[in-house]
Chains A and B, each alone.
Chain A
């Protein structure tokens, strides 16, 4: 039986060997298609570049829209709130003795953005207020001292803030560049507010000083500012050993008031930049990574104080919001890449391009000269150190972690109080994918 089986096996093998199948060119074409499809499609160099630029534009544009919208709100809201705060408080303060406060405050449907209505309200209670001998506006000298002198004819209904130096005083990360406020509408003030004419001008050019209601300052003892950035990076490594990358991301700023996490403030910004690296040998590389980024913060400074005006009202709440610091930086680092790990160390310079805050509401405080300052620019240069670690997770996908520390307080002193510290400590965590990472054969 075994012999028969062996014979049968041999017979089958023989017949299989003898079988013939004609080659057809179509078979090769099919195979060729399979080969072509199996080859990884290399995305062109500009693909990564374009993606990065697009990310920056999108993120930057979105941030700009948010910031600009914030400014609009400031312009639109500030004046009515100011007017409401001052006039209602003034009137209410006076009328408290008359037991009519509730009626006044519940005055139906007052359009606080309408100067006519506000003025009418004031005029309505003028006699009462006058009877109480409303306090005078601050003197001209004081007005100069506090750097807000709104020159306007009494008949004008607005002043332009370009003529006024709106000042912000901060002692932390709540910086303000209020020159961003292009126009500030001030309600028409009653004549009784005018107590003095400008000696240098004729009678029709009356100087009105409305210092207190528009002076604001923050008094926050910030000690740190840490950014956690999410990075999405595309890199291209070409055969000439140059590596080009585009980075973009959002930053999450966290400031700490009084050194406690519980009162920390969080805000968002964006950043974008490019990375150029040159591979020295198999493992070592040098990289320059110019970046521009903004660090934002929401509600970086909130203060509510009750302070009596010269003319008898209480101070109202003011809020400085949406801090945005714009930096540019140029770190140069040297790195070592081995297997799945990459470490780099570097140093560089950073430049504070601008600081901007939005003012949501106006208030006042007892102003102290050394808390004021001019936002004449933030062109400061500082030094920084950078440490970066990357881990190759899969294929050409990497997770990167970066710590960046600035050594220069970028927003302190002249402008604000001596408590200010903004020595940036940035933590960046992100993912990056290397595009067209061409490996040389044999390496």
Chain B
């Protein structure tokens, strides 16, 4: 997905032109909401996260080099803003503090074929399932599956061990698959 951007828009934002800022916000919104929704449990928080991200984008716009990929730059800011936001969360900090004893049991426990069930699901339903995951589990899933970070990097970003990161990913997949199965049964019924 691309953000519509041109030099005049950037110049306008640099000069503090409110209309330019508004236009850039609109252009970035769809891109940012896809990122931010995944990191928080509700849409209101997602919008707050977008706004914080956008403020950082504006503040640092002068440092953006025109030959860089704007989407990648904005995405990095959004992800880091989201992580900062979550790290401030008290429940998250408590969860991390208890995360030292994770034992990763990687086994192929599910015998479910998700294809049939999942394909029929709406994207928003999947997004809601992701949002309902425990905070730390959700972040690991996002960073690994969607953003493509390795467990070592995720561990450093979230302040947890690499093993814990693997465990959370496993947990996320397990929960999602169970939900998909339930959803399928309900729909079939």
Residues on A close to B: CB < 8 A? Answer: 1, 4-5, 7-9, 11-21, 23, 27-28, 30-32, 34-35, 38
Q: Which of B49-57, B69-77, B155-163 contacts A (4 or more CB under 8 A)?
A: B49-57
* Residues B25-42 near A (CB distance < 8 A): 25-26, 29-30, 33-34, 37-38
- For the residues of B in contact with A, the DSSP-based class is helix
Q: Could you count the A-B residue pairs with CB atoms below 8 Å apart for me: how many are there?
A: 81
Q: A15 near B22 (CB under 8 angstroms)?
A: no
Are A31 and B50 touching (Cβ within 8 A)?
A: yes
Q: What would 6 more interface pairs be, CB under 8 Å, given A11-B114, A32-B21?
A: A8-B114, A23-B29, A27-B51, A28-B22, A32-B18, A38-B55
Partner of A34, one of B38, B52, B114: B52
Which 7 A-B residue pairings sit nearest by Cβ, starting from the closest? A18-B123, A15-B126, A19-B123, A31-B51, A19-B127, A1-B108, A15-B123
Q: Tell me whether B3 is interfacial, beta carbon within 8 Å.
A: no
Is there an interface contact between B145 and A28, defined as CB atoms closer than 8 Å?
Answer: no
Shortest Cβ distance from residue B169 to the other chain A in the assembled complex, whole angstroms = 9
Q: Provide 11 A-B residue pairs closer than 8 Å at the C-beta atoms, listed in order of the A residue.
A: A7-B115, A11-B114, A15-B121, A16-B146, A20-B123, A21-B46, A27-B25, A27-B29, A31-B50, A32-B18, A35-B21
**Do the beta carbons of A8 and B121 come within 8 Å of each other?**
no
Is B164 on the interface with A (CB-CB < 8 A)? Answer: no
Which residue in chain B gives the minimum CB-CB distance to A23? B29
CA distance A283 to B30 in the complex (A): 47
Q: Tell me if A16 and B22 are in contact (CB < 8 A).
A: no
A32 near B47 (CB under 8 angstroms)?
A: no
Q: Which of B25, B48, B50, B146 is the one whose CB lies under 8 Å from A12?
A: B146
Which residues in A have their C-beta under 8 angstroms from that of B130? 12, 16
When A8-B173, A18-B123, A19-B123 are in contact, do A31 and B146 touch as well, CB less than 8 Å? no
Q: Within the assembled complex, what's the spacing in Å between the Cα atoms of A44 and B146?
A: 49
Instruction: Judge if B86 is at the interface, Cβ distance under 8 Å.
Output: no
A19 near B124: Cβ-Cβ < 8 Å: yes
For chain B, which range describes its interface: under 10, 10 to 19, 20 to 34, or 35 or more residues?
35 or more
Instruction: Name B59's closest neighbour in chain A (CB-CB).
Output: A38
Residues of chain A within 8 A of B29, CB atoms compared:
23, 27
Assuming the A-B contacts A9-B145, A16-B146, are A23 and B30 also in contact, with contact meaning beta carbons closer than 8 angstroms in the complex? yes
The reply to whether A4 and B108 contact each other, CB–CB distance below 8 Å, is yes
Q: A9 to nearest B CB, angstroms? A: 5
Asked whether, in the complex, the Cβ of A31 is within 8 Å of the Cβ of B54, the reply is yes
Q: Does B118 contact A (CB under 8 A)?
A: yes
- Tell me, rounded to whole Å, the shortest Cβ–Cβ distance linking B137 to chain A: 13
When distances are taken between beta carbons in the complex, the residues of chain B under 8 Å from A11 are: 114, 118-119
Q: A23-B26, A23-B30, A35-B58 are in contact. Are A16 and B50 (CB under 8 A)?
A: no
Check B37–A31 contact: CB distance below 8 A: no
Separation in Å of the B129 CB from the closest CB of chain A?
9
Q: Give complex CA distance A20, B1 in Å.
A: 13
B176 to A12, Cβ gap below 8 A?
Answer: yes
In the complex, which residues of chain A have a beta carbon less than 8 angstroms from the beta carbon of B127?
Answer: 15-16, 19
